[in-house]
Amino acid sequence: MCGIVCYIGEKSAKQILIEGLKQLEYRGYDSAGIAVHNGDRIEYCKAVGKITELEAKLNGRKMEGHTGIGHTRWATHGEPTEINAHPHMDQEKKLFVIHNGIIENYYNLKKKLEKDGVVFVSDTDTEVLAHMIARYFDGDLNKAVRTVMSEVEGTFGIAVIHQDAPGEIVIARRGSPLVIGVSDNGYFAASDVSAMVRYTKKVVHLKDNELATLTRDGFAISTAQAKRVERDTETVEWSAGDTDLNGFPHFMLKEIFEQPSTIENAIRGRLEPGEGVPKLGGIMPVWEKLKSCRHIVIVACGTSYYAGYVGRYCFEKLTEVDVEIELASEFRYRKFNFPPNTFIIALSQSGETADTLAAIKEARRKGASLLGIVNVVGSSIARETDAGVYNHAGPEIGVASTKIFTSQLTILTLIALLIGRHQTLPLTEGTEAIREIMALPDRVQRILAQANHIQAVAEKYHKYPNWLFIGRKFNYPIAMEGALKLKEVSYIHAEGYAAGEMKHGPIALINPDMPTVAIAPKDDMYDKMVNNIQEIKSRKGPVIAIITEGDERLKKIADDVIEVPPSLDFLYPVLTVIPCQLLAYYCADFLKRDIDKPRNLAKSVTVE
């Protein structure tokens, strides 16, 4: 969950690395460092904290050179200290390495090196790599890295430079993303294209157990067995401006307000209103199997898991398919007996989530077919699955996912509708569903127009230390997602519950100092939700109700209300989650939290 950026070319490396690290800071912000080869030797600088701390230390230092590597860290082994920050080096300070991932057998390797006289200075697993690669280096840096790859266990994306190999960067990956960038002025490598999209849109994705050597003249990819690999460049579909704030104070707020566009991107070219049937070209390679499928398992983590939870309800509503939802981090430890023609649907914003990748690999061993819903073209999950659908939502920089969540909900609904229309769902219901899906961007915009009102509600309640979110059926996962958002960015303790479970324990917590966000649109669960709200009010619990426009009944009961436009029951989650996102954002803002970089969290979870 760290960020890597490398550059070799005609320009000065120092500033390119700093700019790249700023774009990657959402992936890790405990500490950062760079190393630059000036042709004779390697200079380096490391700092604890955000990239601005590193930038301040570099102020006034020339650090000239056209070859360099940079890293921003999210700590796994060792506290955030300057010693533990990357890059790490060998004892002679000739070889420098940066690393994302975890070396699982580092302890045994470290003990072996210590017996041979190596003195370790950090608490990290990465330092093992520096000493091992240095020992194998005989003038061929690629060969030394390849040799070490055969001895280490775990996941890694690494970049290495050596004083005695000027004009050369070697990168390697296993389970942690690395992508090469190709420009007229040099070559890049990074863990995320956002680090280099200001300089190039032409990229080449490295696959697992591959290495690449970058020079000023080009790059060469090979396997861990030294077999040469030829691969064409791909074009990134978004631009540098997509990673700018564009006048918003935080990326989270910007991305909340982008949701009308990202939902539109999720449905563009994918709807046939007259037939009531979506068009999803990405799943056509497996369509014949999918349309006769009777068992689907959705696997995901965090916010994507809650999107999958809503998806389960959508599939049950629109299809004849039995659907399970599983936490990817637990999936491979369970014993499954998949029925014939089972499909696994993997959800991941980055397409690199380690637990989700592990889950789909285990599912493949069990004979399941694999679908992916990811936002990053060419990502690991996109390559590991048999087919899938891209979000086309552009980069999501804020650590707390917002626009990808609603995009995932939209795409899951399209898949369910497509299958349903080839099963028993009638034309009239299909055309109605598509009409309502097409209306979602405008309806989300109507909710966003209430931002000032939602901000006022957040101001009223942001000092309360404990919150409860409740919902039923389609909106039960939204209650969990709403609680997660509040926890992530404001650090307020919050729990999401099925409203029907209130009497089975959580109601004991209700008191005048614990607000409840009740997600209660006018769907078939409405009357039951009203009863649950009444139970809370009778115990003097403050209630913020998310209601359908014009609901006078709940306006009289709840302390505060936030209205959403009317919709079909299975589409309400796309609307009801927006007030939850804004409540979380504004509470965090009033509490002066670091909203885009919440403590202890990172955007792309590439370690298990």
Distance CA 190, CA 347 (A): 23
Pick from 348, 406, 333: nearest CA to 603: 348
pLDDT more than 90, % of the chain: 80
480's tokens = 């969990």
DSSP 301-370: -HHHHHHHHHHHHHHHHH-S-EEEEEEHHHHTTS---PPTTEEEEEEESSS--HHHHHHHHHHHHTT-EE
What does the mean pLDDT of the chain come to? 93
366 is catalytic: no
Q: Which residue has the higher pLDDT, 79 or 360?
A: 360
pLDDT at position 285 over 70: yes
What structural domains and CATH numbers belong to the chain? 3-240 (3.60.20.10), 245-438 (3.40.50.10490), 449-595 (3.40.50.10490)
524's tokens = 């078939």
Distance CA 149, CA 142 (A): 11
Q: What is the per-residue pLDDT for 79?
A: 82
pLDDT tens for 90-112 read: 999 999 999 998 899 999 999 99
Is the bond preceding residue 80 a cis peptide, omega within 30 degrees? no
Distance CA 480, CA 31 (A): 32
pLDDT at position 134 over 60: yes
Distance CA 401, CA 308 (A): 14
The two beta strands, 186-190 and 3-9, are antiparallel
6 is catalytic: no
- State the catalytic residue, choosing from 2, 6, 314, 587: 2
Query: Is residue 353 very low, low, confident or very high in pLDDT (cuts 50, 70, 90)?
Result: confident
By mean pLDDT, which of 4-13, 228-237, 439-448 is the weakest?
Answer: 228-237
185's tokens = 């002025």
pTM: 0.87
Going by the DSSP 8-state scheme, the letter that residue 175 receives in this structure is: B
pLDDT at position 157 over 90: yes
263's tokens = 């939902």
Query: Is residue 71 very low, low, confident or very high in pLDDT (cuts 50, 70, 90)?
Result: very high
26's tokens = 């959402």
pLDDT tens for 358-382 read: 999 999 998 999 999 999 887 889 8
pLDDT tens for 1-24 read: 588 999 999 999 999 999 999 888
- State the catalytic residue, choosing from 50, 254, 317, 603: 603
Query: Is residue 27 very low, low, confident or very high in pLDDT (cuts 50, 70, 90)?
Result: low
